[in-house]
Structure 1
Amino acid sequence: MPLWTLDPFLLACALPLALAIDGRWGEPPAAFHPVVWMGRALGWAGMRIAPLQATGRDIRSFCAATLVWCALAAIVLIVSSALQWVAIALLPVWGAALVVGLLLKPMLAWRMLRGEVLAVEDALAQSLDAGRERLSWLVSRDVQGLDAAAVRESAIESLAENLSDSVIAPLFWFVLLGLPGAALYRFANTADAMWGYPGMRGGRYWQWAGKWAARADDVLSWLPARITAVLLWGVSRGNGARWSDLRAQSRLTPSPNGGWPMGAMALALGVRLSKPGVYVLNAPGRAPQAADTQRAVHLASKTLLALVVLAVTALLLIAIVHTHV
């Protein structure tokens, strides 16, 4: 097989290996974390692009941010492609799979996401203030006015949305395009988290400077968000909800993608999930209880397992077909 051709058997081995590394060791130190490097580069550039005050139609900021985004994305693609190529060129398949799995691990964050969501519930068991404080590590919204049920809602929403953004989507793009696909997606998602705001944040105005980053993330997250919702709906067996119910919930959020996994989780648990003044998912549902956080994590784990089984099976079938062609 040519070195520039992705070996489906290698991908099939690297994917579960990356998850095993994540489960055993979690995130690498910040000094060695490529997503942290991406964030630092985006932060440095953003402070020089986004204006200090609200403006009208700011084409200059939009164009500058778009060019910088493309330049940084190109660097991410070049570096990740080179690392993958070197691994394949110099190592046997098992060695290349090990290296690619190690490099893929920082592009996903299942152990950290799971731990942070469960930590919110543990903090709530101590006091409402402790729960709010812990939730502030996980979400960007104002948490001070939230009651215990609202804190749980926010934690479960974050679990569902980040299951798609931080786990399913990087793995989806890895299966399609290898390490460069996962790295590019992680860069785009990080750029959206840092730049993709409709107004003021951090003393800068992002309406136009962040528009490209927000739209790029919407495009790259479109299919993974729906795959996440389908798998969640499937592993919960719909919990009595119909597919049309899930589609209806997905339209209730401002995000074109976030409503899919969050709506699927709300229906699967039978609970109401909301962001005050913005949306309410599964409005007839009950307020989430402490046990629902554990149930949500369990469903998310089953969803991830379902994706891994499907992806690895598909890759192995492709590898078998290749060996007989």
Structure 2
Amino acid sequence: MLGTTGQRALGVVAGLLLDRALGEPPDRWHPVAWFGTAMGRVEKVVYRDSRAAGAIHAGLGAGLGAAAGVALVAGAGAVLAPAGREVLRGALPVALAVAVASAGRMLRRTSRTIEEHLLQDDLAAARATLPSLVGRDPSGLDGSGVAAAVVESLAENTVDAVVAPAFWGLVAGAPGVLVHRAVNTMDAMVGHRSARYARFGTAAARLDDAMAWLPARLFAALVGVLAPGRAGDLVRLVRRDAPAHPSPNSGVAEAAVAAALAVELGGPLRYGDQVEDRPRLGDGPRPGAGDITRARQLVDRAELTVVALCLAAWWAGRAAPHTRRRDA
């Protein structure tokens, strides 16, 4: 049993609030880190320089995520069903899955640390901390480049680590949340365009694109609601700039945040030996340290709005049976 939509909504609320209160555990205790270790071992066995081998790898990882979600549902059923606690039975697996899959607190905390380094004119420390958020090479970035990278990460990762877990928790319960987390983790591991993963990582990258497609657009809509004075520019700039981005989802999220903040994101960046000239997103000046604060506040409000909407969905689901009984 995956629970009703209202029960799953309550689970999403609990999971996001758990992440806000506790944050992520150390890697050695983090289920996502365990999953990454396991899939690294699977890769050693199945790797071939082919899309077919990559599809096997991605399928096994998604299956592992689904199995973990089903185990959470079964465990909650076994423990809570005898007590007749149906609401907890439906909400608890989602809460645990969303808490594991979310990382909003970490994003906000790390962005604040980098911002403080920039405000203290300690560019070296800001560069040293940046790899906690992004995969690009920070060594050649100036202060504005570091700020742009942080703002882009807040946008992209709020989709991956806040909105998408909430969305999949509502739609498919704990299995949906953990399949998305598995796919997103595999994309981070093998989905980039290096010589080793250009073909092998295709399946993971495409699955990640598919599972984040709607959450990215829901995030952009949330940003438009939270920055109503910029909503018209947001629609215009997302339509104009996002299609040129190599990711069909990151481009939408980053263009939306660029429009809301009235800054310009994108531009050249380096991953190891690879240099990419990313499209420019938005109209305005390049961001500075103060724009990290504004971006962090924006994504924080977006997460709180998700919590409020899910609470409303839970309340509506709770009230519906009473309404039907009165009508009968």
Determine the structure 2 residue equivalent to 1:55.
Answer: none
Task: Mark the CA change 1:31 to 1:142 in structure 2 (over 3 Å): closer, same or farther.
Answer: closer
Stretch deviating more after TM superposition (128-137 or 262-271): 128-137
- Say whether the 8 Å CA contact 2:156–2:250 is kept in structure 1: yes
Task: Mark the CA change 1:153 to 1:17 in structure 2 (over 3 Å): closer, same or farther.
Answer: same
1:183 Cα offset (Å): 0.4
1:194 Cα offset (Å): 0.4
SS state at 1:251 partner: helix
- Following the alignment from structure 1 to structure 2, what is the Cα–Cα distance between the partners of residues 75 and 293? 36
1:222 Cα offset (Å): 0.5
Determine the structure 1 residue equivalent to 2:40.
Answer: 43
Task: Mark the CA change 1:100 to 1:182 in structure 2 (over 3 Å): closer, same or farther.
Answer: closer
Determine the structure 1 residue equivalent to 2:219.
Answer: 228
Determine the structure 1 residue equivalent to 2:271.
Answer: none
- Say whether the 8 Å CA contact 1:170–1:182 is kept in structure 2: yes
Determine the structure 2 residue equivalent to 1:263.
Answer: 255
Stretch deviating more after TM superposition (113-122 or 63-72): 63-72
Cα offsets for 1:215-271 (capped at 9, x unmatched): 010110100011111111210115251523322122131111111110011010111
Cα offsets for 1:187-218 (capped at 9, x unmatched): 00001000102223xxxx11111110010101
- Say whether the 8 Å CA contact 1:42–1:194 is kept in structure 2: no
- Say whether the 8 Å CA contact 1:165–1:189 is kept in structure 2: yes
Q: 1:10 aligns with which of 1, 7, 11?
A: 7
Task: Mark the CA change 1:128 to 1:182 in structure 2 (over 3 Å): closer, same or farther.
Answer: same
**2:95 equivalent to 1:105:** no
Q: 2:25 aligns with which of 11, 28, 34?
A: 28
Give 1:287's aligned amino acid: R
Determine the structure 1 residue equivalent to 2:294.
Answer: 295
Task: Mark the CA change 1:66 to 1:322 in structure 2 (over 3 Å): closer, same or farther.
Answer: farther
Determine the structure 2 residue equivalent to 1:54.
Answer: none
Sequence identity, in percent?
35
1:90 Cα offset (Å): 2.7
Determine the structure 2 residue equivalent to 1:210.
Answer: 201
SS state at 2:144 partner: helix
The number of equivalent residue pairs is 309
- Following the alignment from structure 1 to structure 2, what is the Cα–Cα distance between the partners of residues 85 and 251? 42
Determine the structure 1 residue equivalent to 2:115.
Answer: 121
**2:70 equivalent to 1:81:** yes
Determine the structure 1 residue equivalent to 2:246.
Answer: 254
- Following the alignment from structure 2 to structure 1, what is the Cα–Cα distance between the partners of residues 301 and 8? 21
Cα offsets for 1:162-189 (capped at 9, x unmatched): 0001111111000101111100000000
Structure 1 spans left out of the alignment, 5+ residues:
52-57
- Say whether the 8 Å CA contact 1:123–1:134 is kept in structure 2: no
Determine the structure 2 residue equivalent to 1:173.
Answer: 168
Cα offsets for 1:94-133 (capped at 9, x unmatched): 5433464234301111101111111111122331111111
Stretch deviating more after TM superposition (307-316 or 214-223): 307-316
TM alignment of 1:140-159, pairs within 5 A? 140-159=135-154
Give 2:302's aligned amino acid: T
TM-score, structure 2 normalization = 0.88
- Say whether the 8 Å CA contact 2:13–2:310 is kept in structure 1: no
- Say whether the 8 Å CA contact 1:249–1:259 is kept in structure 2: yes
SS state at 1:177 partner: helix
Across the aligned residues of Structure 1 and Structure 2, the Cα RMSD in angstroms comes to: 2.0
Give 1:120's aligned amino acid: I
1:39 Cα offset (Å): 0.8
Structure 2 spans left out of the alignment, 5+ residues:
269-276
Stretch deviating more after TM superposition (78-87 or 115-124): 78-87
Q: 1:66 aligns with which of 42, 55, 61?
A: 55
